[in-house]
Amino acid sequence: MTDEAAPPSAVPAGRRAKAATIYDVARAAGVNPSTVSRALSKPGRINVKTEERIQAAARDLNYRLNPMARALPTGRTRTLGLLIADITNPMFFNVVRGAEREATRRGYTLVLAESQESGEREAEAAERVLPSVDGLVLVTSRLADDQIQDLAERGPLVVINREVEGVNSVVPELDPGIEQALAHLAELGHTAIAFLSGPANSWMNRARRESVLANAPSCGMAVAEIGPAAPTLDGGRAAIDAVVASGVTAVLAYNDLMAIGLMRAAQERGLTVPGQLSIIGFDDIFGSDFTSPQLTTVRTPLGRIGEDAVRRALDLIDDTPTAPAATEEPLLTELIVRGSTGSVDG
């Protein structure tokens, strides 16, 4: 009873009783199918009494509109494609969650495609889902700018964490969190820090690096640059030599994964964190508080980013003339101080 191997006997596919159509409802209510269609999708267009009769008939027959049949004449599927580079990257979880939430709120369904970090597969996946979705959200696209622009011409499209000329994008404001992080380190007495770069061709990596470089001087800090390296645990881990060689007392890593990898490597080498090396990550991913010490990090409002991206895409689709900017709260990053930062050891 506990855990016998899943029995090999598959249960046969249930005969899907074919669903009621508007014709059935029409017959039951004694009206024309077109009237049923209107009763169900254009409230007020027809007489209240007939509408009620139709509603009742539909309920009786347990009628459900066939989305495919509707999509044919209208060209609208009430479906949104979400293209993500790598489901395994924990930063996506929150994005997906926010996206899912906003989509269901507006009656849309999410179609998921993973490109496994490959631009080619991503283009392929985009082609595959494009004809059956009303819009597309690209989460951390590996596509070139012009490919993205082409895609944007073919339908509503929103990119997350990247800016492409002429394409809608949702990007958080990096400066607030980075300023806080730098101020925090300055306060702790650090004067020489390093930015540990992620992938060289990543728009977000460049943005983060530039913000750090731009804001450091005003805190009286010198910034060395280390990397680029893979945005993974191992990428961070491998950077330890360079970090030690650079002689800095604190590191701002491109993302949490690298920060955690670096922390591990430092500890394995006998360095104390934060005693001898302070480390700050980026994103505040799931698990960044599992480490000892817990990771100090610049949180990105991932959930709200996903939500906003979907909202934008849906506004485009519904031709809502761009939600008044006033209602959209800015997407701010914010420093979360935990245990991996401290004052420099005497």
Partner DNA sequence: GTGATGGTGGCAACCGTTTGCCAATTCTGG
Partner DNA sequence: CCAGAATTGGCAAACGGTTGCCACCATCAC
CB nearer to DNA: pick between 133 and 219: 133
Any contact of residue 222 with a second copy (CB under 8 A)?
no
Q: From the list 40, 71, 188, 244, which residue makes contact with a second copy (rule: CB under 8 A)?
A: 71
Q: Is 64 or 128 the residue whose CB approaches DNA more closely? A: 64
Contact between 229 and a second copy by CB under 8 A: the answer reads: no
Least distance from C-beta 111 to a second copy, angstroms? 5
Smallest separation (angstroms) from DNA to the CB of 102:
23
Does position 43 interact with DNA (CB under 7 A)? The reply is no
Cα(167)–Cα(25) distance, rounded to whole angstroms? 44
Query: Does residue 329 touch a second copy according to CB under 8 A?
Result: no
Q: How many angstroms separate the CA atoms of 114 and 250, rounded?
A: 35
- Cβ atoms of residues 159 and 148 within 8 Å: yes
d(CA 185, CA 250): 8
- Which partner, a second copy, DNA, none, binds residue 113 by CB below 5 to 8 Å per kind? a second copy
Query: Nearest 5°: CA angle at 329, between 324 and 335?
Result: 160
Which residue lies nearer to DNA by CB, 10 or 68?
68
Task: Select from 33-41, 50-58, 104-112, 337-345 the region that touches a second copy (CB under 8 A).
Answer: 104-112
Question: 17 CB contacts (<8 Å, ≥6 apart)?
Answer: none
Binding test (CB under 7 A) with DNA, winner from 43, 52, 56, 69: 69
Using the contact rule CB under 8 A, the part of the chain among 33-41, 220-228, 244-252, 287-295 near a second copy is: 287-295
Count of residues that bind DNA according to CB under 7 A: 30
- From a second copy, DNA, none, interface partner of 38 (C-beta below 5 to 8 A by class): DNA
Count other Cβ atoms within 10 Å, centred on residue 321.
7
Q: Rounded to whole angstroms, what are the CA distances from 154 to 122, 149, 151, 252?
A: 16, 9, 5, 39
Q: Where does this chain touch DNA (CB under 7 A) — which range of 26-34, 145-153, 165-173, 206-214?
A: 26-34
Which residue in the set 32, 330, 337, 345 belongs to the binding site for a second copy (CB under 8 A)? 330
Could you say whether residue 42 binds a second copy (CB under 8 A)?
A: no
257/89 Cα distance (integer angstroms): 9
Task: Decide if residue 70 touches DNA (CB under 7 A).
Answer: yes
Shortest distance (Å) from residue 189 CB to a second copy = 26
Q: Does 32 bind DNA (CB under 7 A)?
A: yes
Angle, helices 48-61 vs 33-41, to 10°: value is: 100
CB of 16 to DNA, least distance (A): 11
Residue ranges in contact with DNA by CB under 7 A? 18-19, 21-23, 30-35, 37-38, 40-41, 46-51, 63-66, 69-70, 72-74
